[in-house]
Amino acid sequence: MAPRFLLARHGQTEWSLSGKHTGRTDVPLLEEGRRGAKLLGERLHRAPLNGLPGMEIRTSPLARARETCELAGFGDRATPWDTLMEWDYGAYEGMTPDEIRADRPDWLIWRDGVPGGETLAEVSARADEIVEWARSADRDVLVFAHGHILRSICARWLGLDLGFAARIRLNPTSLSVLGWAYGEPAIEAWNDCAHLTA
């Protein structure tokens, strides 16, 4: 059986709420983010997923992703993996897109990158490493990580340039599923937040 790839974005933080680029800064979850992580966990433990028995689970080591994983009930099964860390935004760490565009009106991270941080090629290579791992065996996998790296993973899963990630939003505490259709990589579900409104 070809593997499915489940992607969980971390819960809401003060910086994600305000739109600040949160790369390697270890920002804690807000109470809303902790609540969302628990609701995500309840969903993953109900039928049809039933706690994901036998699934390999990895998490970004950054606190917001790791805590989301723990609150969802998978902390004891998850392996921290530096490759899942968020984009290193360099000089743009902690800035909102509007603040950046005050100096660079046409700036788009997916096209222009960031000064002093990871290049587009470096982020793409990390995403490729994660995709290769996810496809490496006949078992499903789940990762807890961050908005931009998860969007990058989706683009590369589909065999597309990183620029495709500009076209797919991803909310905090969302669940997405990458899989296969007619033997080709496909999106099964994206940015699913139904557990937050149940």
Q: List active site positions.
A: 10, 86
The reply, when asked if residue 9 is annotated as ligand binding, is no
C-alpha 137 chain-centroid distance: 21
The reply, when asked if residue 23 is annotated as ligand binding, is yes
Tell me the C-alpha distance between 131 and 70, whole Å. 23
DSSP β-bridge partners for residue 178: 5, 187
The reply, when asked if residue 22 is annotated as ligand binding, is yes
User: Could you tell me which of 32, 43, 11 has the C-alpha nearest to residue 146?
Assistant: 11
Tell me the C-alpha distance between 5 and 142, whole Å. 6
Cβ-contact 177, 188 below 8 angstroms: yes
**Strands lying side by side in the sheet with 184-192:** 78-80, 56-59, 141-145, 5-9, 175-181, 184-192
- Please give the annotated binding residues, written as ranges: 22-23, 64
- Please give the annotated binding residues for substrate, written as ranges: 22-23, 64
